[in-house]
Structure 1
Amino acid sequence: MSKQKEIFFLLPNLNGGGAERVVLNLMSALDKRKYTCKLILLNNSGEYCSNIDSQDIIDLKKREGILKYLVYFKLLFAIWKYKPDILFSSMFGLNSIVSLFKPLLPKYTKLIVRETGVISKRENVSCIMNSLCKVSLRKSDNVIAQSSDMLDDLVSNYNVPRDRIIKIFNPIDVVTIQKLQNCESTIIFDSNKYNLLTIGKFEKQKGYEELIRSFSRFAHNTNYHLHIVGRGSLKPHYEQLIDQLRLQHHVTLYNFVDNPYAILNRADMFLSSSHWEGFPNAVLEALCCGLPVLANNYKGGISEIINNSNGIIIDMYDGEVLENAIKLAQSKKWNTELIILDCIANYKLEKIIVDYEKLFQ
């Protein structure tokens, strides 16, 4: 039997986001006969810490202030100490820094970076970071793009050679989702309402301000209720906006929940209002629960996921368009079983892991 390959996954922390969930899914699904995995964290913190054995974590204990930059020397030291076959980085910004260090890594350590969105569409990216992406990402051995939008962006705007880019969809853990979706939900919906649900970080990229303003143009005279689940610094701003628009009886904000699948299982429709994405995990998980999706027409995989049988893509920031789309969705007879089966066929972890193992060979 050939020697096991050692893969070190790299993340800043284990906050409850899509990139973290994808990495944990990959670590659990890789063939243990072929691969041994460790997770390097700049800081061992976040909602998903309980989802992984502490023995599989290398915590670099990133410090605050000017001393925070020492963490990258700790990272290089750890890589040279353990000399993994593959270093797999999966977070914007960190990917570029690690790629810049590629000449300093052991020659036999393959560097793979997985970008998490369409970089050119990101807000608040400094000129320095944008330039760093253009210079450094092409130094990695491979860059993973989850969607055609991401792939085109990397080639056209960030100088990454096409032959180094591997397109692999995000995986969903169907077994876990189906197990947890029937659990008791911590959030109770009014069954007399048409319950619209969205899940994501309270940040500008998710388009929640535009969604709330668009929704406010018609919500008062309907039985629609918009539920937004997440965490982030903009929550107080959204609460103030809801009060300002007098939507207290039509929009509710909730904190991060450990089991979003039980909530997805009880909603009527999922909304994805983002400005951009990479390949939205929340949308895939909603479909896996049989929930049709109403999505904004953004860059980042949504046009590859949504079709006539599982959802509708619109300009969600136009109130009239949003209202008409919700009415259409409410009146349409969705085939829940077909939505689930189509999602599982395309994105189940067992299928996607095959693509990753081909890359890791």
Structure 2
Amino acid sequence: MRIMLVVNSIGVGGAERVVSSLANAFAARGHAVCIVTLETKRPALPVSESVQLVELNARKSMGGLLHVITSLRDVVRSFKPDIVHSHMIHSNLVTRLVRCMVPIPRLISTAHNSHDGGWHRVLANRLTHRLADLATNVSSEAVAAYEKRRAVPQGQMLTVHNGIDTRAFHFSQGCREQVRDLLGVGSSTPLILAVGRLEPEKNYPNLLNALSRLPGHLRWRAVIAGTGPLQADLLKLADELRLADRVSFLGVRSDVRNLMNAADVFVLSSNWEGFPMVVGEAMACERLVVATDCGGVAEFTGGLGYLVPPQNPDALASGLAQAIALPRDQARQIGRQARERVQTLFSLDAAVDRWLGLYRGDRIDSARSGDADACAD
């Protein structure tokens, strides 16, 4: 098939990693693949040389929107895809409008979150919904949230879980020792890792306040990988909470797998999520997970980890304290079980098979029954 994937950019976010991994896997199976990015940014994720990459240089203006729409129309005409698969709200809306201008044999729109913005985005999504052949989201909770907000009609959005590349994300003792040495963290000091954009929905103040409430006798260090508009505020808060000597902000990192190997506990403090890839990647690396119970986190973890209510630093602190204090042999056992769960239910190969079936037009009813089986445990 000729497959076109449309996404905001090939940065370091979860949705971007999904698109990069899918593109490489499709190309490896002999399909012609083109990634179209709305924004022009230096790719931060590995993309196979056999994958065509087109950047549209979007600008935040009405003229910029018209430029992106007409440019994407021209790319569709040139590439002649059998399937166009868009990811995230902006790409979904743009590709639907382009379909009014140029034939697209099959169009799939994938959301990656339970909350994609205010009422205007909800309205735009609902008004353009019928322009896509299939709308999907990355977790059952996210689908339910879309339906509750009336962003899609009831029963007309399908859950398709993201796939984790377990060949890339796995535990390595050698890598662990090397990265901890670079970070200046002793072998016996528990290391807590958080990964994600420094933006409101990730609620890093929740994490910092939780860290400040950990019992005084516990030894620990924490590192946060990511950047964003709240960085200065978070640095100030960490200083006010007297955490500056125990919490390090690492900025944008392309070595997330290495950081996960170095860590003992992976923490997610978000207010809302879709199906956070970083949780599955941490599980694939056999790490303990402490996370707020939002989006598809519970679907991912299946009881293997510590889930706490969002926006509750006391509960998050309790989960972190339990994870840090867990005997090492028990932590290793949970880590092995977590990886087995990801390999069985959320592997990249399984996700690629699922998408290729939907691209070919497999029945949605059979896809729904398969989805239910995946969550039966």
Displacement after TM superposition at 1:316 (Å): 5.6
User: Does the CA contact (< 8 Å) of 2:69 and 2:98 recur in 1?
Assistant: no
Match of 1:304 in 2: 299
Segments of 4+ moved more than 6 angstroms: none
- Work out the CA distance in 2 between the residues paired with 1:211 and 1:179: 25
Q: Check 1:41–1:295 CA distance in 2 against 1; reply closer, same or farther (3 A cut).
A: same
Match of 1:344 in 2: 343
Displacement after TM superposition at 1:65 (Å): 5.2
Q: Equivalences for 1:1-361 in 2 at 5 Å?
A: 5-30=1-26, 35-48=31-44, 50-53=46-49, 56-63=52-59, 67-69=63-65, 70-106=67-103, 108-119=104-115, 122=116, 125-158=117-150, 160-161=152-153, 164-178=156-170, 182-183=174-175, 184-185=178-179, 186-218=182-214, 221-298=217-294, 300-308=295-303, 310-315=304-309, 317-329=311-323, 330-332=325-327, 333-334=330-331, 335=333, 336-361=335-360
Q: Which residue identity does 1:99 align to in structure 2?
A: R
User: Does the CA contact (< 8 Å) of 2:291 and 2:307 recur in 1?
Assistant: yes
Range with greater deviation from structure 2 (227-236 or 310-319): 310-319
| Aligned-partner SS, 2:68 | helix
Q: Which residue identity does 1:356 align to in structure 2?
A: W
1:293-335 CA-partner distances (Å, limit 9, x unpaired):
111122x101112233x20111364343333323322225231
- Work out the CA distance in 1 between the residues paired with 2:112 and 2:42: 18
- Work out the CA distance in 2 between the residues paired with 1:104 and 1:240: 49
User: Percent of aligned positions with the same letter in both sequences?
Assistant: 24
Displacement after TM superposition at 1:199 (Å): 0.8
- Work out the CA distance in 2 between the residues paired with 1:33 and 1:343: 22
Q: Check 1:8–1:215 CA distance in 2 against 1; reply closer, same or farther (3 A cut).
A: same
- Work out the CA distance in 2 between the residues paired with 1:311 and 1:38: 37
Stretches of structure 1 lacking an aligned partner (at least 5 in a row): none
Q: Which residue identity does 2:15 align to in structure 1?
A: A
| Aligned-partner SS, 1:8 | strand
- Work out the CA distance in 1 between the residues paired with 2:88 and 2:208: 29
Tell me the TM-score normalised to structure 1 length.
Answer: 0.88
1:144-171 CA-partner distances (Å, limit 9, x unpaired):
2111112222333235345643321111
- Work out the CA distance in 2 between the residues paired with 1:260 and 1:49: 11
| Aligned-partner SS, 1:228 | strand
User: Does the CA contact (< 8 Å) of 1:182 and 1:262 recur in 2?
Assistant: no
Displacement after TM superposition at 1:291 (Å): 0.4
Q: Which residue identity does 2:90 align to in structure 1?
A: G
Range with greater deviation from structure 2 (194-203 or 29-38): 29-38
Stretches of structure 2 lacking an aligned partner (at least 5 in a row): 361-377
Q: Which residue identity does 2:297 align to in structure 1?
A: I
Range with greater deviation from structure 2 (224-233 or 195-204): 224-233
Q: Check 1:237–1:220 CA distance in 2 against 1; reply closer, same or farther (3 A cut).
A: farther
Q: Check 1:189–1:136 CA distance in 2 against 1; reply closer, same or farther (3 A cut).
A: farther
Displacement after TM superposition at 1:260 (Å): 1.2
- Work out the CA distance in 1 between the residues paired with 2:111 and 2:90: 9
Q: How many residues align?
A: 350
| Aligned-partner SS, 2:70 | helix
Tell me the TM-score normalised to structure 2 length.
Answer: 0.85
Q: Which residue identity does 1:154 align to in structure 2?
A: Y
Q: Check 1:237–1:264 CA distance in 2 against 1; reply closer, same or farther (3 A cut).
A: same
Displacement after TM superposition at 1:64 (Å): 6.5
1:112-168 CA-partner distances (Å, limit 9, x unpaired):
11101002xx5xx34322321221234311112111112222333235345643321
Q: Which residue identity does 2:111 align to in structure 1?
A: E
Range with greater deviation from structure 2 (209-218 or 253-262): 209-218
Displacement after TM superposition at 1:224 (Å): 2.6
Displacement after TM superposition at 1:196 (Å): 1.3
Q: Which residue identity does 1:321 align to in structure 2?
A: A
Range with greater deviation from structure 2 (269-278 or 146-155): 146-155
User: Does the CA contact (< 8 Å) of 2:263 and 2:287 recur in 1?
Assistant: yes
